[in-house]
Chain A
Amino acid sequence: MDRFSWTTGLLELGETLVVQQRGVRLGDGEEKVKFGSGVLLLSTHRLIWRDQKNHECCIAVPLSQIVFIEEQAAGIGKSAKIVVHLHPASSKKEPGPFQSSKYSYIKLSFKEHGQIEFYRRLSEEITQRRWESMPTGQAMQVNKDSQAGRIRAVGIVGIERKLEEKRKETDKNISEAFEDLSKLMEKAKEMVELSKSIASKIKEKQGDITEDETIRFKSYLLSMGIANPVTRETYGSGTEYHMQLAKQLAGILQAPLEERGGIMSLTEVYCLVNRARGLELLSPEDLVNACKMLESLKLPLRLRIFDSGVMVIELQSHNEEEMVAAALETVSEKGSLTADEFAKLVGMSVLLAKERLLLAEKMGHLCRDDSVEGLRFYPNLFLTQS
């Protein structure tokens, strides 16, 4: 609660009210504070709390101080809450009700409901970061006037000067836009650092963190593109999303797999699924993560990785080792076959045909003849005729 500052509660120039909710109690981390019943206001720039009885008592915290927010569902005798995790207070913060706090988060208790809407709006504001493009305060007014004063010449000189002004203005806008980008990059760096430190803390205290919290935290990391440092056998590198996706894939791929002899390479799957989707395409990582969960979710397909690194999806009912026996027969009939020839004969992709022949070789059924004319496979006569 030491991030809050006293305020008049009046909105500043450029600041707009987004939503407000009565009956909100503030909490400092896990402790209660004397801000028990108030109106919580969300603006484009700040989170403001005003006491319902004493309107003079009004505090606010800038939205830029927020790291991330979480919802806490209501329980018996407990209202629904929003937990707001905050950056440490900056040294030039205006004075507020608390000088220090041992917590880096506050809790907003919604005694008269309204938390769903409030959470949604707060998420939006944090994502859009409108406070960065709408500087508040009196300064803007002054600039406008001085600029309007300058451009007032006439004739060719005047036109030239106007063009020069416009060029400078564009230049300024471009560099300001890049400033935003560099600010974004800085924030991104901060968030990544924070996540890494939290992740390593979790690793150390593995016993104390509940399953549910760990899953939630992993999903934050994954959504920010950070590889998962905490792995558990039962979940692999998956999250709720990947679990749902895996179930979806099982449905979509059943028929295509049956058409293709029970096996498809992961690149084929990627193309098939994304072509079918049209919009909201899957990233390769999401596809791989979902496929890694197929087996543990007991779905009728599984991911298999060959020695060469080639990844395929096969039907549970598909047995590659049995297919090898059939492949051996085919090769014996023809005397010898290359991967290309075998592929054409059987109607498979060259990639998977090669994998099958290599597997047959690994199992000892085939021998290779590796020359500049290509890789050719023969039945392993050393085995059968010894």
Chain B
Amino acid sequence: AGKGFWAELLGVGDFYYELGVQIIEVCLALRHRNGGLIRLQELQLQVQKGRGKFAQDVSQDDLLRAIKKLKVLGNGFGIIPVGGTFLVQSVPAELSMDHTVVLQLAEKKGFVTVSEIQASLKWETERAKQVLDHLLREGLAWLDAQAPAEPQFWLPALFSELRPHEEPPATP
């Protein structure tokens, strides 16, 4: 036993376990900013930075494999599919199907409003508000109550994909 038959045969054990450590460290460092939710590309960027110029490249697939192994540690690691890519969760926050679907909706612009949820998902106001409140409480969303038309709920995890003319609110 020990390292395992397959790890020894294919020689890949250490690579993924070390990557696991680096993923944990990056998520911990950014948690105060994004509430424990981060885009896979962002994670890849930060991990590569931490590994240094001369280290082996890390693919998104590598990250996903390492994260799947980390789940067994019970500290809330999860992978959420959104708009063709993934969000990586690193805190034990309960995210239901409803929460996930709102995250997917917010993915395009980095924020979402109650009206948008009503229009796209055909939910009642109450349901939309409950989901958004939960995201706020968990620290995954920030509220811009002073947006022109109606309050906007911004997701820090999605910030890196913003186009130039859209800006996040100044204070969380």
Contacts and interface: CB of A to CB of B under 8 A. Distances in A.
Interface of A: 127, 219, 222-225, 239-242, 265-267, 270-271, 274-275, 279-288, 305, 308-311, 350-351, 370-372, 374-375
B18 interface: yes
Interface in B60-88: 69-76
A218 to B, nearest CB: 8
B144 to A, nearest CB: 13
A375 B73 contact: no
B25 A281 contact: no
B21 A283 contact: no
A239 B72 CA distance: 18
Given A223-B1, A308-B92, A309-B92, A274 B75 contact: no
Given A270-B24, A375-B137, A281 B18 contact: yes
B156 interface: no
Interface string B28-56: 00010000000000000000000000000
Contact of A240 (B1, B25, B133): B1
B169 to A, nearest CB: 15
Given A224-B6, A370-B137, A271 B24 contact: yes
B70 A284 contact: yes
Nearest to B141: A372
B105 interface: no
A288 B73 contact: yes
Contacts of A266: 73-75
B4 interface: yes
Contacts of A241: 1-2
A374 to B, nearest CB: 6
Contacts of A372: 133, 136-137, 143
A270 B20 contact: yes
A318 B66 CA distance: 32
Contacts of B133: 372
B137 A239 contact: no
Contact of A371 (B2, B3, B31, B137): B137
B98 to A, nearest CB: 17
Contact of A311 (B2, B21, B74): B74
A305 B13 contact: no
A181 B3 CA distance: 21
B149 interface: no
